[in-house]
Amino acid sequence: MAEIHKLDIEASSSRPPPKRIMRPCDHGLARAVNALETQVGTVEAYNKLCDAATALKVKIDAGQGQQAATHWATDPEWIYPKP
């Protein structure tokens, strides 16, 4: 058998990660989550969010996912500019 050795490399990026893109729906989602937590409590809010995430995953896995609206779509070149 061959001897396998780990290469000594530094696995890091020379540039900072991009800032998160904030859209109007992000603020609405934050308000909805806050209202949900206020009404049913943190644990039940978490459970409801997990149920919603599961429903979205089922939709995606079934090939029924929805693309972002064109005017909110992002250009990877803008997010990750070449140095």
pLDDT in tens, the chain (83 residues): 578 777 777 777 777 776 777 788 889 999 999 999 999 999 999 999 999 999 999 999 999 998 888 777 777 676 666 76
pTM score, two decimals? 0.62
Q: Which residues of 10-44 are buried (b: 16+ CB within 10 A; e: fewer)?
A: eeeeeeeeeeeeeeeeeeeeeeeeeebbeeeeeee
What is the reported pLDDT for 35? Answer: 98
What is the reported pLDDT for 16? Answer: 77
Q: Which of 38, 35, 36, 56 is nearest to 47 (CA)?
A: 36
* CA dist., res. 61 & res. 50, Å (int): 16
What is the reported pLDDT for 79? Answer: 65
What is the reported pLDDT for 80? Answer: 67
